[in-house]
Structure 1
Amino acid sequence: MAKPVLLVEDELFVALDVQMTVEDAGLSVDGPYGSLAEALDAMERQPPGFYLCAILDVRLRDGEVFPAADRLAQAGVPIIFHSGHADRQGLEDRYPGALVCAKPCAPRTLRARLDDVIQAAG
């Protein structure tokens, strides 16, 4: 069974749209988690490297996603930032290899980023 994609997004309709895009790619989703606390709790229950990748919104209802992103990066999990508040250069500097999709993002753009992750993992 393929590894799931961790989805951290606090806007319900955006989360559902992203989840549908991931599932249309034939992948499963862990989440969506709408807060940093929920995401960190979910990650605590899984071994390092459990996720194929993570799709992360930067600003969540209880703060910024960076503590979760740091853990994922340390575990070697590819990160796709999906945010309307993204400083692309800052994110790419802090997380080399991370992909950034600015919201609003067309599903085909996000799907292309997922395909990049799948190809790199293959």
Structure 2
Amino acid sequence: MDDLERKRVLVVEDEVFVALDMAANIEDANGTVVGPVATVRQALDLLRGGEVDAAILDVNLPDGDIGPVVDLLSDQHIFTVIYTGGGLPDRLAKRYPELPVFHKPTPPSVLTHTVASALMHPAG
């Protein structure tokens, strides 16, 4: 089992069952869930209000795409995973080619493993 060592992981997902499954998987891996939240606005508010160590983000949310959240996370050098039913918009894919993108229905355990590995072995 991957161990997130109490790292704080932001979950941004507008499908409630997917968000709850993701949150449970993070907690099972000894992580602390920030959120989950379902909108860009809520995600930005959480990021401005506290620290996170990593993030798992859906792309298309009720109030727009995740671009502003990805920008803020990137500015803060926070490891981010995209989890989407579609794909990453071209402008984000070009700006952030290193972003890991997983397509639904990838199991949450795969996402948790990716986050735990990245936090254990930071790049650069």
Q: TM-score range by the shorter chain?
A: 0.7 to 0.9
Hey, what does 2:76 align to over in structure 1? Answer: 75
Poorly superposed stretches of 4+, deviation over 6 Å: none
Describe the superposition over 1:56-91 as per-residue Cα deviations: whole angstroms up to 9, x where unpaired: 000001110110110000100010001111239865
| TM-score normalised to structure 2 length | 0.84
AA in 2 matched with 1:103: K
The answer to whether 1:5 aligns with 2:6 is no
Hey, what does 2:35 align to over in structure 1? Answer: 31
AA in 2 matched with 1:112: H
Hey, what does 1:53 align to over in structure 2? Answer: 54
Describe the superposition over 1:15-65 as per-residue Cα deviations: whole angstroms up to 9, x where unpaired: 00111111111101000010011111111212xxx2110100000011101
In structure 1, the gaps of 5 or more residues are none
Partner-residue secondary structure (3-state), 1:86: coil
Partner-residue secondary structure (3-state), 2:72: helix
Query: Is this contact kept in 2: 1:92–1:99, CA < 8 A?
Result: no
Tell me the CA shift for residue 112 of structure 1: 2.3
Q: CA RMSD in A?
A: 2.1
AA in 2 matched with 1:108: S
Picking from 22, 28, 32, the partner of 2:26 is 22
More deviation, 1-10/21-30? 1-10
Query: Is this contact kept in 1: 2:79–2:118, CA < 8 A?
Result: yes
Distance of 2:111 and 2:33 partners within structure 1: 14
Partner-residue secondary structure (3-state), 2:121: helix
Hey, what does 2:100 align to over in structure 1? Answer: 99
| TM-score normalised to structure 1 length | 0.85
